[in-house]
């Protein structure tokens, strides 16, 4: 069994595990990484880009190294088991794929967050449907960094749809892309970079310089996943033409090079308007409207966005597995 099938089976099992089990309530690997990165920041912090770059290199590099070490250990252990068994194809070949699939599945489950994303979005949607705007405001910080007190019910619903769109790329598709490219090290590395951006990549006075490297690296790492998410939203959404039209017309207007295509494609696919005025940490931003011909977001669009996110995630897995299969076959053909 080749690396292409190892990734496909392992990543599918990991996504299914996330769907069935969700995130652990205690001891989440990403939370453990966050605590470790915070400890490194407390030691290294200086108001300087160079020290921030060192922080990024140590933390992201450490995650990649951990993934590489785990993959190497699985290969070594499997090779040792195969060597100690009677030499026959039946005894030698299955060991490595099974162990590698299991490792890929665990790594995928650890780094993706589609179920948590859907759970939080739906909880806010239920509160809004019940007319409990205060409960929705209290829950919103679990999903995004908007100032909830500045939002009415429709504003909260729009914030949720935008967050679902962006986090479909950040929490699921981007990891799958890098898993297809680099296996378990790619999965862990992408999640590490994305987590570092959330921790230090924002433009606060403390992190304006120190977090510069994390923010730029996250832009680079997230680029392919964001485009795949936008394509998948156009394919899987109820209005493919609207998604493509909004993406082409409005994505470049967004201040984020990766959130722009994703949010514009989701807006067009769902037939709603996203963007506009929003508030972060007391700072008001006036962002361009995405899909201006769409209608205003309604509470029911939260569930529609979650379902689209699910379809996009599985479609992205299929696309990543197919591309990896094609690339691996071409590589084997050249070698032979």
Q: Tokens 């609207």 identify what position?
A: 242
Q: For 94, phi and psi rounded to 5 degrees? A: -75, -25
Instruction: Using CB atoms within 10 Å of the CB of residue 234, give its burial: 0 to 12 exposed, 13 to 18 middle, 19+ buried.
Output: buried
Give me 131's structure tokens: 């007319």
Decide which of 159 and 24 is more confident: 159
Closest listed residue to residue 280, CA positions, set 219, 220, 203 = 203
Closest listed residue to residue 70, CA positions, set 167, 222, 185 = 185
Q: For 287, phi and psi rounded to 5 degrees? A: -90, 155
pLDDT (average), residues 127-136: 96
The residues that bridge with 295 in the sheet, in sequence order, are: 272
Q: What percent of the chain has pLDDT over 90?
A: 77
pLDDT (average), residues 32-59: 97
pLDDT given for residue 150 in this prediction: 80
Can you tell me the distance from the alpha carbon of 77 to that of 324, in angstroms, rounded to the nearest whole number? Answer: 25
Q: Residue 324 half-sphere exposure, CB side, CA atoms within 13 Å?
A: 23
Q: Per-domain residue ranges for the chain?
A: 3-335
| 3-state DSSP percent of the chain in helix, strand and coil, to 5 | 75, 5, 20
pLDDT at residue 92 is higher than 60: no
pLDDT given for residue 178 in this prediction: 98
Helix (H) or strand (E) holding 280: strand 274-280
pLDDT at residue 80 is higher than 90: no
pLDDT at residue 23 is higher than 60: yes
What does DSSP say about strands 274-280 and 283-290: parallel, antiparallel, or unpaired?
Answer: antiparallel
Can you tell me the distance from the alpha carbon of 167 to that of 288, in angstroms, rounded to the nearest whole number? Answer: 20
The SS3 assignment for 146 reads strand
pLDDT at residue 298 is higher than 90: yes
pLDDT at residue 185 is higher than 70: yes
Whether the CB-CB separation of 183 and 327 falls below 8 Å is answered with no
pLDDT given for residue 266 in this prediction: 98
pLDDT given for residue 257 in this prediction: 95
Helix (H) or strand (E) holding 286: strand 283-290
Q: pLDDT digits over 210-226, tens only?
A: 999 999 999 999 999 99
Instruction: Using CB atoms within 10 Å of the CB of residue 58, give its burial: 0 to 12 exposed, 13 to 18 middle, 19+ buried.
Output: middle
Give me 324's structure tokens: 């990896």
Can you tell me the distance from the alpha carbon of 262 to that of 316, in angstroms, rounded to the nearest whole number? Answer: 13
Per the prediction, the chain carries an average pLDDT of 91
pLDDT range class, residue 4, cuts 50, 70, 90: confident
């Amino acid at each position: 069994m080749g690396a292409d099938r190892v990734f496909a089976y392992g990543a599918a099992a990991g996504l299914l595990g996330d769907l069935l089990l969700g995130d652990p309530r205690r001891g989440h690997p990403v939370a453990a990484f966050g605590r470790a990165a915070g400890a490194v920041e407390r030691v290294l912090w200086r108001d300087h880009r160079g020290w921030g770059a060192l922080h990024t290199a140590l933390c992201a590099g450490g995650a990649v190294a951990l993934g590489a070490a785990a993959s190497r250990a699985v290969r070594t252990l499997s090779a040792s088991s195969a060597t100690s068994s009677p030499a026959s194809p039946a005894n030698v070949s299955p060991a490595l794929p099974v162990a590698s699939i299991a490792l890929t599945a665990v790594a995928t489950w650890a780094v993706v967050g589609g179920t948590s994303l859907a759970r939080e979005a739906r909880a806010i949607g239920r509160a809004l449907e019940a007319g409990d705007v205060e409960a929705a405001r209290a829950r919103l910080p679990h999903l995004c960094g908007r100032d909830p007190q500045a939002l009415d019910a429709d504003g909260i619903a729009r914030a949720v749809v935008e967050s679902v769109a962006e986090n479909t790329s950040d929490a699921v598709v981007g990891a799958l892309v890098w898993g297809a490219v680099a296996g378990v090290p790619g999965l862990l590395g992408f999640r590490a970079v994305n987590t570092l951006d959330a921790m230090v990549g924002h433009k606060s006075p403390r992190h304006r310089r120190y977090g510069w490297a994390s923010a730029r690296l996250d832009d680079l790492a997230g680029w392919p996943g964001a485009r795949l998410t936008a394509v998948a939203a156009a394919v899987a959404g109820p209005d493919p033409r609207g998604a493509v039209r909004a993406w082409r017309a409005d994505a470049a207007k967004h201040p984020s090079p990766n959130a722009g295509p994703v949010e514009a494609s989701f807006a067009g696919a769902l037939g709603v308007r996203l963007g506009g005025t929003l508030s972060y940490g007391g700072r008001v931003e006036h962002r361009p409207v995405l899909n201006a011909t769409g209608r205003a977001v309604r509470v029911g669009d939260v569930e529609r966005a979650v379902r689209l996110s699910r379809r996009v995630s599985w479609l992205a897995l299929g696309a990543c597995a197919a591309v990896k299969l094609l690339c691996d076959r071409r590589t084997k053909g050249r070698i032979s």
